[in-house]
Structure 1
Amino acid sequence: MEAITSFVDQYGALMAQGTWDTVVMTVLSTAFAYVIGIPLGVLLILTAPGGLHPHRVFNSVLGWLVNIGRSIPFIILIVFMIPMTRAIVGTSLGVAAAIVPLTVAAAPFVARMVEQSLAEIDGGLVEAAQSFGASTWQIIRKVFLVESLPSLIRGLSITFITLFGFVAMAGTVGAGGIGDIAIRYGYQRYQDDVMVVAIVLCIVVVQLAQSLANVIARKIDHRSR
């Protein structure tokens, strides 16, 4: 008990701040990635062969760009984007700076997940909406996004957890958060207790995020009722 009390007194505030910074970076970068990724995924499905507005060249070029974004390892991307990050937020260190490469890394991933979710929608629903004179925008809002919402929510949890791991890597280059604490204290100073607590905190956050996403997806999925 004394050991726990001593650890909390010495590292409690540090671990709490690191956890908060990690969650903030993950949540904000996930949100920004979906702001970019959802339109990209919709465009991919609309312009695909058999889509509402098929366009082979546009679809191929967009798919090629998305694949390039998915091909770059994050640790390389974060270093490569340092000049751009400085131009956007004024620094390459800290929470705000980490959000920029995290968003860029996640947006292509989100685009492909959105594309896959929309591709699973029953084509009969789209045809029915077209027969009632629905516009493309109405089909996107009331058919594509509504019917794929449970899948999108589950994909959201995957994105969050993936970015949570990326945030730990970002900590190695000055982003802060749990990863930075684990490296500076647990690895460089050989403090195994700090490393263990950092791992436990990561597990707790990931489990909470996955459980919450599963509950929400089940509640809104009319097919499971």
Structure 2
Amino acid sequence: MTDLALCDALANARHRLEAALAAADRTPDDATLLAVSKTQPAAMIREAYRLGQRDFGENYLQEALAKQTELAELSAIVWHFIGPLQSNKTRDVAEHFDWLHSLDREKVARRLDAQRPAGMAPLNVCLQVNVSDEASKSGLSLAELPALAEAVLAMPHLRLRGLMAIPAPATDPVAQRAPFARLHEALTDLRERFPEARLDTLSMGMSGDLEAAVTEGATLVRLGTAIFGARDTSA
């Protein structure tokens, strides 16, 4: 993708998010655009940063760490780890990321809490929910949420911010909205159960279902293809 094409795509993604927020009677700053930059070169991230994008999501740890080293001069960049996290790789996430969207096990949470450097702010975390009950997907069931939330809230080096989900694909807008509505309801339940917690985040919605997610309250929308184009899977 050329710099000009990226500029146009990023502008279109921002406009699409703003339009979805307006249609849902929400304010323009109610949701943040998270650019999913997995498999994209560091130069592309640098250009998106130059165009004002600050939040970037990565799925593959070693690839992300290499980009972070190359882009170390971008002081305002916010790194989100959004992929599945194995317990033997928690230290790198604890030391090098601002957000983790895919927490679904207490063992992983305890490792992250112990490994977060003392001089860093607490790691922002979202609990991943398998909101469509897919056997192939990671994530907690809705019934498992309260116990893990309570455990994470007691960990001083983690900051529980909310929930994340990747629902089963759907093309019908009504079908798209249903799992997002369930996730929003689950967050509302957690807020009532833990009123002292700062639970302000719904990480949901991607390039194919942004509008449905925003309608149901998304605050972080993860867009990859809509910004960077289709990934090259020929390699």
Report the TM range for the smaller structure's normalisation.
under 0.3
When Rg is computed on C-alpha atoms for both structures, the one with the higher figure is 1
Q: Which has the higher contact order (CA 8 A, sep 6+)?
A: 1
> Per residue, is there more strand in 1 or in 2?
2
Structure whose residues are more often helix by fraction: 1
